[in-house]
Structure 1
Amino acid sequence: MSTPQVVVVMGVAGTGKTTVGALLAARLGVPYAEGDGFHPPANIAKMTAGTPLDDADRWPWLDAIGSWAHGRAGLGGVVSSSALKRSYRDRLRAAAPGIVFVHLTGDRHLIEDRMAHRHGHFMPTALLDSQFATLQPLQADEAGVAVDVGGSPEEITERAVRALARLREPAG
């Protein structure tokens, strides 16, 4: 049996990182950590006010997520993080080598509609454009998979489980 992985569920706001992340963790039998919980209060206030975070805002947040992921090495875990830029993912990998990414992707209009109908989240729909503008999709040399967010959370999770299993298959 292989060592459990630490998986980062990434993507723009509204793709279902929290929902899919929790379902994926349950399917894999590992703990789930909500990436938003690693934000300092100033970041939450900034986003709530409709102001996008800059890199200086994100570094401490990414370092906290990376520290959590490092502590789960060999044990497995799932954590959500937008991880929009390659440099952010590189920072997470530096803290926790061996992590893999599940990039939740989808049609902008579908994601915007889902954001408009969710309740109790601080991220306004107005920041979606800045998220897409910042997004650098996974590159071929990054350990991870892209999973479309069409369908139910359970369907998305099942696609993620299958994609991760294929990723772990030996090359050849």
Structure 2
Amino acid sequence: MYDFKPAAPLSAAELYRELLGAADALTAGEPDGVANMANVAALLWEFLPDLNWAGFYRVAPAKTGNGEEELVLGPFVGRPACIRIPFGTGVCGTAAKSRATQLVADVHAFPGHIACDAASQSELVVPVLRDGALVAVIDLDSPRPERFTEEDATGIEALAALLSDRI
């Protein structure tokens, strides 16, 4: 049996190479997107130190039934979270609306930040696009300010690309 966590301290490049390999091994050939998101959320939790939340928000029809879409909570590891996030609201909603990675060193300085967990100090949100359409975002929160780097953003963007047709 393979133990899906890094064996030793690794450089960022090595860590993300191993994370992508593990995610590929767990999701290749599995058609159930929820199962794949659940396993990847667990991998993120195992591979990345100093997190207090790791998971997904999926694109789904808005609860209002007005034909619009919003983000809806998907598989995650961490404390209970906000269930629905409108596009353009908070860090996740901004990533969804802009289709661009959001690397936030201090969530308290981010306009409209949604505080699902008061312990969160920094956040990284990466859109998952399939054929140009947003299907989800990967959301990472940390209780440490300035936890995430450009290397983290690049690594999670590679993960999002891998998962684009698997979730």
TM norm. shorter chain > 0.5:
no
Between the two structures, name the one with larger relative contact order (CA 8 Å, sep ≥ 6). Answer: 1
Structure with bigger helix share is 1
Per the normalisation by structure 1, the TM-score is 0.26
